[in-house]
Structure 1
Amino acid sequence: MKINLERLRKGTLKMLILEALDKKPMYAYEIIKSIEAKFNGIYKPSPGSIYPVLKQLVTNNLVSIEEKDNKKIYCITDKGKDTLKNMKTEVKTIFSSKNHYRKLVSELFDLGLILYSYKDSLNEENFNKIQSILERCRSEIEKTLDEAKQS
């Protein structure tokens, strides 16, 4: 079973954008900065990832656009607030009902923090070694999950 990481990222980004706009209407740049602040600088979405998701949110009537000084200000709609509430409920359900899943996600988050803390001292050789380890790890995890699914 292959997980569509791009879809997962877009779903997560969709929720992060709606959360930002739930606080106040914002320009796209402000949305990016709000998300970056939420992750203490560890993650900053690019304009290239934000704008397609914003377009989709507008198309689905989850976000509306107001013009001010020839700039777009994005606002969450009532439908967007309902969607955000449902998304948050779904996330809470996943993490509360599957304690072992939460432990795995916590381990992955800790790994991400370790990598981030060494980002400035990581040379190309170590980067390549770590990337290879992560690729093998992902492959082993997918193999394990596929075998479990077939059992």
Structure 2
Amino acid sequence: MDRMAGSHEGGGRFGGRGRGGPFGRHRGGPFGGRGPRMFDPGALRLVVLGLIAEEPRHGYDVIKALEARFQGAYSPSPGAIYPMLQMMEEADLVTSSTNGNKRLYTITDQGLAYLEENRPELDKINAQLDDASGEIRGAALGEEMHALRFALHSKLRSGSLNAEKAEQLREILKRVRREIEDL
């Protein structure tokens, strides 16, 4: 029995739960149906496997490759990526080698076969990603979000805010939020 199979029906070639193999079923694209997540988990796993198929990668490299696709406006957390990589390794879709404290992930023949079986879905997800990120290309929104966060945290940590300045900062943030919402 495959490691990922369990006792579910429709185990499929790679031991998953019906369509979607070891990743479960995703909802037809990268964007989750509810909540604040950018990706549906099954779609993210498929995209990550596709990135590793392009070239062996460390977990950090996977995070940076996804961040680059969104011009810095989206970056998955290490808490989402590293357990996923471990699961892929347990499912024999990738292997890893250790160099110091880093693990380099490489796709296996089984992982390549899985990608080929799911190529139409991966192509659809990548097209959706290109559409979503294409509209913001060149705007460097992610850079400005990081710069704003840094400026805000620096100001808060500096100890230079009194009650009056804190209220001014709050009003600035409220105004900017409203302007963004009104776009």
Q: Which residue of 2 aligns with 1:140?
A: none
| TM-score, length-scaled by structure 2 | 0.49
The 8 Å contact of residues 10 and 53 in structure 1, kept in 2 or not, is answered as no
Cα shift at 1:80: 1.1
The 8 Å contact of residues 64 and 75 in structure 1, kept in 2 or not, is answered as yes
Q: Which residue of 1 aligns with 2:15?
A: none
From the CA coordinates, give the structure whose radius of gyration is larger: 2
Q: Which of the pair has the greater relative contact order for Cα pairs under 8 Å at 6+ separation?
A: 1
Q: Which residue of 2 aligns with 1:43?
A: 74
Work out which of the residue numbers 49, 60, 84 in structure 2 matches 1:18: 49
The amino acid that maps onto 1:36 is E
2:88 pairs with 1:60 = no
2:111 pairs with 1:80 = yes
- Distance (Å, rounded) in 1 between the aligned partners of 2:100 and 2:62: 18
Identical columns (%): 28
RMSD: 3.9
- Distance (Å, rounded) in 2 between the aligned partners of 1:67 and 1:61: 17
Say which SS state the counterpart of residue 95 (structure 2) adopts: strand
The amino acid that maps onto 1:56 is M
List runs of 5+ in structure 1 lacking aligned partners.
95-101, 132-151
Q: Answer 1 or 2: which has greater helix percent.
A: 1
Render the CA deviation track for 1:50-99: whole Å, top value 9, x for unaligned.
012112111111111111124211111111112222333135579xxxxx
**Cα distance change of structure 1 residues 70 and 91 upon mapping to structure 2, 3 Å threshold:** closer
Cα shift at 1:30: 1.1
Q: How many residues align?
A: 123
The 8 Å contact of residues 36 and 45 in structure 1, kept in 2 or not, is answered as yes
**Cα distance change of structure 1 residues 77 and 111 upon mapping to structure 2, 3 Å threshold:** same
Render the CA deviation track for 1:106-126: whole Å, top value 9, x for unaligned.
6x8799899x58968994467
List runs of 5+ in structure 2 lacking aligned partners.
1-32, 149-171
- Distance (Å, rounded) in 2 between the aligned partners of 1:30 and 1:54: 12
- Distance (Å, rounded) in 1 between the aligned partners of 2:177 and 2:47: 29
**Cα distance change of structure 1 residues 93 and 47 upon mapping to structure 2, 3 Å threshold:** closer
| TM-score, length-scaled by structure 1 | 0.57
